[in-house]
Structure 1
Amino acid sequence: MRGLREVLNLLRLPHRGSATALEAQAFQRLKSFLEGQGIPVQEIPFRGVRSYGPELLLINLLLGLAPASPVPPLLGALGFFLYFNGWRPWGFLLDRHPSHNLLAWKGQGAKALVLMAHVDTAKTFFLYHPKRVRHFRANFLLNALLAFLAPLLALTPLRWPVGLYFLAQAALLLHRELKAPYVEGGNDNGSGVAVATALFLETEPPEGWRLGLALTGCEEVGALGAKALIPHLPPGTLVLNLDNVGQGELFYAEGEGMLLYVPYRGTLLDAARKTPGAHPLRYRLAYFDTLPLARRGFPCLSLIRLEQGVPPHWHWPTDTFARLDQGALEDTLRYTRTLLQRVFQGVSS
């Protein structure tokens, strides 16, 4: 438990917003802590954005132009499809703020397993209010349906209500950019960073294995840190991701995807199915850092805790370190410890 407390204390900042100075400060604290434990740490720099708001605002503006022409909503629907499947072909135009990952290794061998957790925190938004957040998935599916129908509805009298709907959303996103604060992020994802780091420090990989710790930036704005991590992982690396594991009931995701669903495969998933203490889940609320890795063929598993189907205090100002459940953190650490032992021993029944 000492390791969990030490890491959580390092992350106690007003926020760790993606690609902000406070995210960089959190990374510097973590790096110094790991090096103080005698662990060599590699920094992986990349550039990202500080918020997903401008991208979604532009997509909504294009959809909101349905009364003018079907062409802008067609582009908006394409942008919606790409963004919510984790693809940002326009990223080279927007990614201009420095961020980075930390990557550390223990052991030697042909097999590799990485513990991954994102360090950054997100801005809040009205959809994450406790009275609305349980309808987050339904609201997303409504938006997806209207976005994909918008190019057709632009040819009918319904183009006006559809256009006004998306213009109203663009206005709300603009307000978010100008006024909404970043959250403190005790659960999302101070909890995951603490468990992953504590487990890494206490675990000595067996002969033939390398154990890694990957702490990523810019997860909240499109898993940008995970994408930058890919060239630095040996082929076939097992990736165990921890996200929002400080409150609620423990689940292991069998796959993820807001629109297209990407199933997980491999040793970690097999081990999770044989390890008591967590429930299976098809995660569709958002996407994890594992999405770009799973798409590239890495065997992945993500752990998350939920209450009534959503992460507790998800992207809301009440997501503070003071609200973390120490029992949940310790239980997650015990579960992941058992999971790793099963993987290292070959996943017996």
Structure 2
Amino acid sequence: MNPTLVRVLELLRLPHRGSATPLEAEAFRRLRAFLEGEGYPVQTLPFKGVRSYGPELMGISLLLALAPLSPFFPLLGALAFFLYFSGHRPWGFLLDRFPSQNLLLWKGEGPRALLLLAHVDTAKTFFLYHPKRVSGFRRQFLLNALLAALAPFLALTPWAWAVGAYFLVQAGLLLHRELTAPYVEGGNDNGSGVAVATALFLEATPPPGFRLGLALTGCEEVGALGAKALLPHLPPGTLVLNLDNVGRGALFYAEGEGMLLYHPYRGPLLEAARTLEGARPLRYRLAYFDALPLAQRGFPCLTLIRLEGGVPPDWHWPTDTFARLDPGALEATLAYARALLARVFASGGGPSGGRPGSSPPWVG
């Protein structure tokens, strides 16, 4: 396997890299030392985040559970539900108190910028991610969204007690998760993406007129907080290639994403992906990526992901270990991402052009 892939995976091999935890900080320390050892100045961008999304979802569930008392509380809960799952946390300043960080580095000079993006942190597990249940994750989410939307109206009917009980049980399950669930090791999610993005950054030389960047983010698993903190540091119009869960399964390129509102991607990376063999298109509605807050603000984005049976392999489950990564999948993802960069660089960052699969001499 590519030596850089091996090296980065070894650096990330910790019990976990939970969002805004000391082990996430240790992973960043190792990555920074490695990149500086390769001769690159690394910018550390600190920010404050949370260690789990559980408390926020518990609060939303408890507001919805108060439907039997008044329509006011479930109205607040429904609003908070739709804000949160659309990528907005207006209450975040009250909760974000644990230190996290992003690493950002660039090479090359020019007015165009292309950024390789991957998150470092790992998530806590939950019973919904059990291999026998995870295929129904999207259906469960849509049921919650429907009941949250109806809760203010059902509060005026005898159904208020049933809705309240449903969300009270959900709050209890989330509390149990907070108290007992471990963080996963995160070989696939997202050690694989960090390794591929880092290897590609180190091997690629951008042509004149281009800057190539690498951003390794924290706190993706708790609301893409690292990507949001990254926004002020990106040149306008930066092309963003996000790599997430690329260590096993069939390769897809996401054409857009959104758990509730769908945000289509656009730009040269997407155009290039549509002309290359090796990955299938995907409208990603299962969860969110670090690309979401960037796409919402107009940055041209593309995400690469590998799926098995419609979901990431071992998604947020204790079986997501480094031992279960597929070296062939990692190598193939690196080759596909390399071809994407070659196509975009050859086109000057405009509409895709050139012969499929061709690589100019500055890539590879």
TM class by shorter chain equals: over 0.9
Counterpart of 1:348 in structure 2 is 353
C-alpha separation in 1, matches of 2:228 and 2:160: 37
SS at match of 2:158: coil
SS at match of 2:30: helix
C-alpha separation in 2, matches of 1:75 and 1:105: 43
Counterpart of 2:118 in structure 1 is 117
Alignment of 1:21-100 (within 5 A): 21-100=22-101
* Residue 329 (str. 1) matches residue 334 (str. 2): no
Counterpart of 2:255 in structure 1 is 254
C-alpha separation in 1, matches of 2:8 and 2:270: 27
C-alpha separation in 2, matches of 1:54 and 1:296: 27
C-alpha separation in 1, matches of 2:130 and 2:66: 28
Shift of 1:207: 0.7
Shift of 1:35: 0.3
Counterpart of 2:288 in structure 1 is 287
Shift of 1:327: 0.3
Shift of 1:21: 0.2
Residue type at the aligned position of 1:348: G
Q: String of CA shifts for 1:8-49, please: whole Å, max 9, x gaps.
A: 000000000000000000000000000000011000000000
Shift of 1:246: 0.1
Residue type at the aligned position of 1:109: G
C-alpha separation in 2, matches of 1:97 and 1:276: 42
Alignment of 1:90-239 (within 5 A): 90-239=91-240
Counterpart of 2:358 in structure 1 is none
Shift of 1:90: 0.3
Shift of 1:280: 0.3
Shift of 1:234: 0.3
Shift of 1:205: 0.5
Q: String of CA shifts for 1:89-145, please: whole Å, max 9, x gaps.
A: 000000000000000101001100000000000000000000000000000000000
TM-score by length of 1: 1.00
Residue type at the aligned position of 1:139: Q
Q: String of CA shifts for 1:51-105, please: whole Å, max 9, x gaps.
A: 0000000000000011111111000000000000010000000000000000010
C-alpha separation in 2, matches of 1:313 and 1:233: 32
C-alpha separation in 1, matches of 2:62 and 2:70: 13
SS at match of 1:58: helix
Q: String of CA shifts for 1:148-171, please: whole Å, max 9, x gaps.
A: 000000100111111000000000
C-alpha separation in 2, matches of 1:261 and 1:348: 28
Mind listing any 5+ residue stretches in structure 2 that lack a counterpart? 355-364
Q: String of CA shifts for 1:182-204, please: whole Å, max 9, x gaps.
A: 00000000000000000000001
SS at match of 1:113: strand
C-alpha separation in 2, matches of 1:127 and 1:49: 21
Question: What CA RMSD, in Å, does the superposition of the two structures yield over aligned residues?
Answer: 0.5
Mind listing any 5+ residue stretches in structure 1 that lack a counterpart? none
Residue type at the aligned position of 2:113: A
Counterpart of 2:359 in structure 1 is none
SS at match of 2:189: helix
Counterpart of 1:5 in structure 2 is 6
SS at match of 1:31: helix
Shift of 1:295: 0.8
Alignment of 1:305-320 (within 5 A): 305-320=306-321
Counterpart of 1:274 in structure 2 is 275
Q: String of CA shifts for 1:272-293, please: whole Å, max 9, x gaps.
A: 1011100000000001000110
C-alpha separation in 2, matches of 1:40 and 1:246: 28
How many residue pairs are counted as aligned between the two chains? 349
- What percent of counterpart residues are identical? 78
C-alpha separation in 2, matches of 1:71 and 1:180: 32
Counterpart of 2:245 in structure 1 is 244
C-alpha separation in 1, matches of 2:179 and 2:236: 42
TM-score by length of 2: 0.95
Shift of 1:320: 0.2
SS at match of 1:74: helix
Structure 1 stretches of at least 4 aligned residues deviating more than 6 Å after TM superposition:
none
SS at match of 1:305: strand
C-alpha separation in 2, matches of 1:330 and 1:108: 28
